[in-house]
Structure 1
Amino acid sequence: MNSASKNTSAGNGNVKIITLDPGHFHAALVQKEMYSGIDPEVNVYAPGGAELEAHLALIKQYNERKENPTKWVEKVYTGSDYLEKMLSEKKGNVVVLAGNNRQKTEYINKAIDAGLNVLGDKPMAINFQNFNLLQNTFAKAAQKKLLLYDIMTERSEITNLLQRELAQSPELFGELKKGTSNDPSVILESVHFFYKFVSGKVLTRPSWFFDPTQQGDAIADVGTHLIDLVQWECFPDQTIDYKKDIKINSSRIWPEPLTLSQFSLITNQSTFPEYLKQYVKSDTILQTHGNGEINYTLKDVHVKTIARWEYKAPPGGGDTHYSILKGTKSNLEIKQGKEEGYQPTLYIIPVGNQNSFESTLKNTITRLNASYAGVTTEKTANGWKLVIPQSYKIGHEAHFGQVMTRYLQYLKDKKLPEWEVPNMLAKYYTATKGLEMATTNTK
């Protein structure tokens, strides 16, 4: 039997990964551990070069580590026809995509056309034209009974999980307020850093990472995590219809300056490539598309999301997350600043004078302990903070394994939850429509 005629259905219980053009370290992180039901042989198709070498080096690092080494066997094809070769050979049934986003939506579409499931890193669309193609691709995936899913690691972070849980407690949280455009009831902000460590080593980013036509603007890239959390936390397991439930009121983008020396340290390139020079001021300052904000309503609730990039985190710090959900009885607020030791910390702040709030909180935490044993509270100046056992704080890189585990279960069940596809569409509509509005406003 030749490779092109192999059964590519994942329903047989044997998942075989194809990695396509891995230009982002997230492609390797889904292989940081082994999984039951996945063939250890992975076929990689890429044009060759430094990005592929960096990907293979990470896989090699995981295979050779002393504790719990992985056993991946990478079968690599390089050549200018890598995409066509992958589509014709079909040496697997799940395509993993994490890299340059310029062609990602097209890659996803062609993989679905070829009868392959897709696990795609965010973002799966970086502009509104991509969104329209993605919408058509989801329709084809449904017809072919294929699973197209994106990697949303922030759903696995413990403070996000507990914020979601507590927001569903009417006794403690009350109801989510509607808010106003000047006082949104939901605010999420993330700060990422260009200079960072991955698996213990300084990350080298490709130069194209700083090109918005290849990586995407911040609100259409990392901003998708924020939009996803808003939907997932505020309306859990509910279907969102982007045509009816979402209204974008305003959005904006603004640059984050990066010096040539900083750019060189991050990319190992001594000069800005030609395609970035349109964003360079004074010959040495790159105006990255690193910041963006969207103000919108979701089911009539006013929301603000802010995605930002900076050069380097302060000592002891890393990517940070801020989130507040405003309820009629309490606010649930996640902070990750210096006061928290740069660790995400969830605060519960009562609204108004509630004599019985402490008793209500105690009862809520007791119920919470049935699923999250060991979680307690500590009094603060204006409320309480959750004290979360260290065992739940597994780190961002481990969250990729949790996403993969969920996806494997979906493959086994041969379906995603009913709300996932419409909510992915709602997410990418919000991000790309918000970007379109912001771009129009800056012209």
Structure 2
Amino acid sequence: MKLSPIVGCLFMATLLSACQSSEKNATSSGEIHLITLDPGHFHAALVQKNMLDGVDSVVHVYAPDGPDLQLHLDKIQGFNTRGENPTHWKEEVYKGDDFFDKMIKDKSGNVVVMAGNNRLKTDYVQKTVGAGFNVLADKPMVISASEFDKLKESFATAEKNKVLLYDIMTERYEISTMLQRAFSQQAGVFGTLEKGTPENPAVTKESVHHFYKNVSGSILTRPAWFMDVEQQGEGIVDVTTHLVDLVQWECFPEQVIDYQKDIKLNSARRWTTDMSLSQFKAITKQDAFPDYLKKDVVKDSVLRVYSNGEINYQLRGVNAKVSVTWAYKAPEGAGDTHYSIMRGTKANLIIRQGAEQKYKPTLYIESASGNKTLEADVKAALPAIQQEFPGVEVKKIASGWEVVIPEKYKEGHEAHFGRVAQKYLDYLKAGNLPAWEVPNMIAKYYTTTQALELAKKSK
């Protein structure tokens, strides 16, 4: 997705003074200059899937030499050489063991993109904002409770240095989720959010992912360390970051969450996905398990990965449950799936993405117990929804109403990275994040890291 030229011009004008105000963060003439730090996840490349107006086409990359770096550069080259709407990025690469110190010393850009091995990410974030760089980081920004305070301090440092630290929350831009949030704000349809119980939460979000997957037209090669939870993080602190974020974003939109007062963990659990050596070879192109994975190998040939997790918790008294499951490969014709329900006093808003929906996320509005006016309520609320999302309709089905979403809104996961980039550039232009974003990022990572600690104790 290409950002608006008008937005780009605004960036160039307004960011000039911001960039010049800090010598550490200054580059030239207000343009955004990207740095990619140690890319090890394909999300680093997806930030550059399309050209971004107001962003220099030269991107400086700092990384150790190796397969992770080459895979990243190959993806960028693929974007540059594709037949339709090719990009024209120029990657200036520094390879060396001192890549991080070299990046800090060179000051060759003003926005650092981080998406890779998570073991050192919290440390990288702290030192990078401390040196006066803006940071756009893939999730998770922290994978253990022991590092949580370091991340919290990094947000304070970013504020002091007048730079923006932000994580890439692509799921906020999935259209069925956006519409679930929009309908939940229509009291005539939804009523008010139930409180629920731990056994029957008011909000449930379940996500199913796959190690073997197709990205940008080819089977994704994953680095071997992706299966090492000491480097990637366990599932309960990785993908659940998105789900916890959505619970906050939908239930209490644009409201500040205080992690010390508003969050109470009920329970948490974790379990493994087992992977054969042949399956491991198919996704990593490596013939054997590396030494650092042997601690997780049983019977000499089965790798056990703690990629699955569930958190049952309360947010301002609302009971919520989030869970992530990783399978090896999706059934034919399927892909990653998402299930979500928000239970209101008048209606339930449910996203399903199974075989019946042809594995496409579909939003349903179903009557809560005793509500006899759903049809009139939905029709009354629809004009307000259409004002924000023109073309959205509803159709009657046996269980209630299905929300009919025009194809123009169904961009796909990869396009959402452009949406996040645009929002981040908007924040850079404004010179700050909304008041709720930083405390809610802190609350989100408190939830995931504390849940991991609880899950480890609950064997």
- Normalising by the smaller structure, the TM-score range is over 0.9
The whole-number CA distance in structure 2 between the counterparts of 1:381 and 1:281 is: 49
1:171-250 to structure 2, matched below 5 A, reads 171-250=188-267
Aligned to 1:360: 377
Counterpart of 2:230 in structure 1: which amino acid? T
Secondary structure at the aligned position of 1:107 is classed as helix
Q: 1:24 aligns with which of 34, 41, 44?
A: 41
Percent identity of equivalent pairs: 55
Q: 1:277 aligns with which of 294, 310, 328?
A: 294
Q: 1:350 aligns with which of 362, 367, 375?
A: 367
The whole-number CA distance in structure 1 between the counterparts of 2:357 and 2:423 is: 30
Q: 1:299 aligns with which of 316, 339, 356?
A: 316
CA contact (8 A) 1:120 1:149 kept: yes
Counterpart of 2:237 in structure 1: which amino acid? A
Q: 2:355 aligns with which of 338, 355, 358?
A: 338
Counterpart of 1:287 in structure 2: which amino acid? R
1:360-439 to structure 2, matched below 5 A, reads 360-439=377-456
Aligned to 2:54: 37
- What CA RMSD, in Å, does the superposition of the two structures yield over aligned residues? 1.2
CA 1:202 to 1:376, structure 2 compared with 1: closer, same or farther past 3 Å?
same
CA contact (8 A) 1:279 1:287 kept: yes
Give the superposition deviation at 1:281: 1.3
Secondary structure at the aligned position of 2:158 is classed as helix
Q: 1:267 aligns with which of 247, 263, 284?
A: 284
CA contact (8 A) 1:112 1:146 kept: yes
The whole-number CA distance in structure 2 between the counterparts of 1:11 and 1:276 is: 45
Aligned to 1:316: 333
Answer with 232-241 or 362-371: which moved more. 362-371
Counterpart of 1:112 in structure 2: which amino acid? V
The whole-number CA distance in structure 2 between the counterparts of 1:224 and 1:189 is: 12
The whole-number CA distance in structure 2 between the counterparts of 1:394 and 1:283 is: 43
Counterpart of 2:451 in structure 1: which amino acid? G
Q: 2:109 aligns with which of 70, 92, 116?
A: 92
Counterpart of 1:150 in structure 2: which amino acid? D
Give the superposition deviation at 1:9: 4.4
The whole-number CA distance in structure 2 between the counterparts of 1:100 and 1:123 is: 10
CA contact (8 A) 1:6 1:90 kept: no
CA contact (8 A) 2:349 2:364 kept: yes
Secondary structure at the aligned position of 1:45 is classed as strand
Give the superposition deviation at 1:6: 5.8
Counterpart of 1:20 in structure 2: which amino acid? L
Counterpart of 2:83 in structure 1: which amino acid? K
Structure 1 unmatched ranges of 5 or more: none
Structure 2 unmatched ranges of 5 or more: 1-21
Counterpart of 2:260 in structure 1: which amino acid? K
Secondary structure at the aligned position of 2:425 is classed as helix
Aligned to 1:106: 123
User: TM-score of the superposition, structure 2-length normalised?
Assistant: 0.94
User: TM-score of the superposition, structure 1-length normalised?
Assistant: 0.97
Aligned to 2:87: 70
Per-residue Cα deviation, 1:136-191 (whole angstroms, up to 9, x for no partner): 11111111111000000000000000000001111100000001111110100100
Give the superposition deviation at 1:10: 8.1
CA 1:153 to 1:282, structure 2 compared with 1: closer, same or farther past 3 Å?
same
Give the superposition deviation at 1:82: 0.4
Aligned to 2:3: none
The whole-number CA distance in structure 1 between the counterparts of 2:321 and 2:371 is: 28
The whole-number CA distance in structure 1 between the counterparts of 2:371 and 2:319 is: 25
Secondary structure at the aligned position of 1:369 is classed as helix
CA contact (8 A) 1:10 1:412 kept: no
CA contact (8 A) 1:18 1:42 kept: yes
CA 1:160 to 1:52, structure 2 compared with 1: closer, same or farther past 3 Å?
same
Give the superposition deviation at 1:382: 1.5
CA contact (8 A) 2:347 2:374 kept: no
Show structure 1 runs of 4+ deviating over 6 A: none
CA contact (8 A) 2:313 2:320 kept: yes
Aligned to 2:68: 51
Per-residue Cα deviation, 1:354-401 (whole angstroms, up to 9, x for no partner): 333201101211221111111111222221111101110011000000
Aligned to 2:149: 132
Aligned to 1:253: 270
The whole-number CA distance in structure 2 between the counterparts of 1:223 and 1:54 is: 26
